Amino acid sequence: MLSRIDLRDRDLTTRELLGIVPRADVDVAHALAIVQPILDDVRSRGAQALRAYGERFDGVTPEHLRVPADRIEAAVATQDDAVLDGLREAISRVRTFHEATVPPPVSVDVAPGATVSQRWIPVGRVGLYVPGGLAVYPSSVVMNVVAAQAAGVQSIAVATPPQKAFGGEPHPTILAACALLGVDEVYAVGGAQAIGMLAYGVDGLCDPVDVITGPGNVYVAAAKRAVNGVVGIDSEAGPTEIAIIADDSADPDFVAADLLSQAEHDPMAGSVLITDSEDLADAVEEALGRRTDATKHLARTKEALTGRQSAVILTANIEQSIQVADAYGAEHLEIHTRDAAAVAERITSAGAIFVGPYSPVPLGDYLAGSNHVLPTGGTARFASGLGTHSFLKAVSTIHYTADALAEVGDKVVALANAEDLPAHGEAIQARIQR
């Protein structure tokens, strides 16, 4: 089912590995040309455009673009107790971790009378996008909202597609998650039009935000690229992906189950096994075949597993497995090896690392405490997942006394003159020559 890439007799550079590792074929630039007219239309026609696109793309025109607060609260009663218990536990664990990650203020005396400080200030308002296509993602509500709340954001708006099955309202599980989190500003608006609404605002409906976060399809990613600079964004999320480093000590059924768990997300999802054991690769393939035949979402799962973005990569040893994993830069990276914790410490590029056989990716998807909004498509080589930092601004404060300025004034003047900016130096001299 999975294609195989054999690297055992090859000594490859990072550049060569980047050209070999499997990737989904995502054309955000092409999607950008499609979404730009939608963004422009939302900006000019506002709510009228939002309703038209709801009918066109979601097959329904919501009665209320902004979901009434009583409908959000009422959604809680529609949910099974087990689902509500799961959401509450997820909120608790994610909040515990994220509150601990808020960076503290720093104040440093760089010299007598010379103090430089830094404090972190939350943005004023955020827009959180929750997808609603092939699956329902109340977990994305938790991840986005809790991180923003832990950062201290005071104004939070959630946008998620209207559902024809629910009369144009968002899915009730999404609304229930919002209710449990105390979010009462929810819009039944999806896709690129939601990104336009959040970025530009709509008169009489929605105020513009400062930052937009949350995953979505390629059109949502393209819309976020288009408005980046008007607002901040977290990332351009692509199809989900998992890579697993495994050796001959791994349980092949565990590995197969985890590869399958990502493949059921989307036909473009990537499932990659990196192993130095051909016997394990064979055993995983056999277990994966059994599990796939019995899975609920057979069609999209098979398409994902047989696509160019999924593969078994055979390596010569654990050293090469680590090299391949760092080049791939997986959104989710599992380690199923001897001394898995030590291997995990050597990884430099991954959105999140799941260590050992009892830390599977689905745990992180819901309530491990970490955030599941993570960099995809290899961007983990330079980007981080969603966190409190996504909603914070670092602001420096500089406070020098007259004596502290005089101590370095001549040096500032020398540097200003070296850059041919004499007025800079004169601003210093005006103070130290009085």
Residues with a known catalytic role:
331-332
User: What Cα–Cα distance (Å) separates residue 109 from each residue in 77, 120, 343, 402?
Assistant: 56, 19, 39, 15
* Cβ-contact 102, 228 below 8 angstroms: no
Pairing of strands 392-400, 114-122: antiparallel
Tokens 């959180």 found at: 128
CA distance 352 to 16: 24
CA distance 293 to 177: 33
User: What Cα–Cα distance (Å) separates residue 392 from each residue in 35, 104, 120, 210, 428?
Assistant: 28, 12, 6, 11, 32
CA distance 325 to 311: 13
User: What Cα–Cα distance (Å) separates residue 391 from each residue in 126, 152, 215, 421?
Assistant: 8, 8, 16, 36
CA distance 15 to 434: 59
Compute how many other C-beta atoms are within 10 angstroms of the C-beta atom of residue 338. Answer: 11
CA distance 253 to 270: 18
CA distance 155 to 190: 20
CA distance 64 to 162: 10
C-alpha 375 chain-centroid distance: 5
